[in-house]
Structure formats: structure tokens, C-alpha cells
Amino acid sequence: MQSANAFNKNSPVKPWYAQRWPWLLMLGPFVVILAGIYTTWLAVTRPDAMVVDDYYVRGKAINQDLSRDRVAAAMRVSMSAQYVPDSGQIRGSLFAAGVPLAGKIDLHLAHATQPQKDLHVITDVDQAGHFSAALPMLERGRWQVLVESEQRNWRLNGSWKWPEQKAIEIVADLPPAE
């Protein structure tokens, strides 16, 4: 008696490469190898923008930056500004403890995701504490705003989501109690 599971002797057996199941099983590892090659290509051809070689020096520089924040807080520096798209200008005022702060300031607008769109302007603040500077059309999005004195002895920094926020106001934080 012949078993039901026995092969039919009349049907030819296909070689393994003519079957579809071995190819389907090999497809997974093949895709992983291709993904690994692509990832390696990305790693080799793209710069590592976030990694710095001199992280210790950069850490010390951050501490110096914090001291400039403390100086701004002790002076009670505040800045308010708005961008006027019609004239392509940013206009604002700068005060220290309610008194106009005249002189040159360094205004840096850093785009949140694209460093090539950063804007840097040095402008004069008049005796009334007002300033104005020409800027190209600001793109919609989040901007990091950095304002510092020409001598770089104090600085203000904040975040501005333009055009949702028509104006920005940055006030130096109070110095920590020591």
C-alpha cells in the first residue's frame, strides 16, 4: 500500500533554484546587506556636523558665555524688536534697568535647522535706545536670537517664532543668589 504522503514518481522534482521559497527566504538578508551598504555610504559621504574635536575648549567657552548672561542680568538688559516685512527692517529698542543703552550691538538671527540661512547684523543703538537694521525677508519658522554688545561683555538670547510672534521681547534673567 502506498502512503498518501509519498511523492508521485511521475512528477519531476525541480532543482532548488527553480523553487520560489529559497529566494523568498534569502530576500530578507539581501535587503539587510543593501541597507548596510547604503548606511555606510551615508556615513562616509556626510559630514558630522554635531561632533567637535575640541569639546573641552567648547565647554569652557560655554561657561564664559554664561558669565556674559550673568552680566546682562546684573545690568537688567532688555530688548524688544519686531520685523517689518514691508520695509525689510528689524526695529527695536534696548534698555538697561529702564535706561536706554546706546552704542553698537551685534544681532544674530540663527535659523533653527538651516545654518546657511543665519543672519548677522551689527547696528547702532541711538541715545533713545532705538535701533533699526535692514534684513532680507525672514522665512517662516523658529529663530534663535542673540544680542550682544560690541565689546562682548554681555548678551541676551531668546527664541522667536516668526510670523506667529509679531514681536520679540528678551529680558535678561535675574542673577542667581550666591
pLDDT digits (tens, 9 = 90+) for 46-100: 877 665 565 555 655 555 567 888 888 888 999 999 999 888 899 999 999 888 8
pLDDT digits (tens, 9 = 90+) for 122-135: 999 999 999 999 98
* Total-model pTM: 0.61
CB neighbours (10 Å) of residue 37?
10
Alpha-carbon span 26 to 28, nearest angstrom = 6
Domain 76-171, classified CATH 3.40.50.2300, yes or no: no
Q: Which residues pair with 1 in a beta bridge?
A: none
Cis status of the peptide bond prior to 15, with omega within 30 of 0: no
Q: How much is the pLDDT for 114? A: 82
Domain boundaries, the chain: 16-45, 76-171
Alpha-carbon span 165 to 35, nearest angstrom = 43
Max avg pLDDT among 4-13, 65-74, 143-152 = 143-152
Res. 178: pLDDT tops 50: no
